[in-house]
Amino acid sequence: METCSTDNPCANLQLESCPRLEPILPKLGYEYKVCSYEEHGTSGMDCTLRLCLTEKADVFKWVKDLEDVTETTWRTSKTYPVSQHKQKNVFRVDLHCHHNTRPKSSTADLRKGSKNTRCLSTIYVKIKNASTDSRGRTDTIKLIFQVSCTNEEYTRLSADRSCCPDLQYCYRVFYHKFKTHYGDTGGEKMMLFLDNKVQDFNEKNNDECVKIDTTSDG
């Protein structure tokens, strides 16, 4: 469930060419992209998969379907907080096989009925925030230029950020235009703009739903 990139290229393997992986995956309703697959030992493997799942509920359903196929329960090893400012991942969790009970006592495995086999099977799940990935859109723009331009024009236009801007260029232009129109974020023009918006909102709702004021810190 990793996202492919230049730093993390995808081999785009056929599922049928992965003999240890293919039999254990739930098939109905899922389409897999196998980015990497490596066997080790007599039965072990490491692999990276991509699925078109964007919601936590869909991911946990896939895990449940995997449990049904493998007759194995997957337990949460670790969860990760999602930053409000850097939302590259909107959800992330590590899972481990229930046959690795991770006992705290050195004598726990000696007890009758212990099911701990110290299984090393682990699943790392990530749901990427597709809206933060501008790489694909940039590649699309460049492809349009390549198709519609001569080689000389493409070289010139692809280097011209007014025609093919990078993300930082877009930010700079946005904030330059924003500041020219509204001034500083805590300035008089900005406060006047916000005050007008608040008044319009309250008038539409026939009530004082929102109030705005400045603090002693400005």
* Cα distance between residue 143 and residue 59, in whole Å: 33
Would you say the pTM of this structure is higher than 0.75?
no
| Joined tokens for residue 92 | 């992330």
Residues 10-23 have pLDDT tens digits of 778 888 999 999 99
Mean pLDDT computed over 189-199? 85
Q: pLDDT band for position 46 (50/70/90)? A: very high
pLDDT, tens digit, 9 for 90 and up, residues 161-193? 777 777 777 878 777 777 777 777 677 788 888
pLDDT for 53 equals: 87
Tell me which residue of 163, 128, 161, 162 sits closest to 144, measured CA to CA: 163
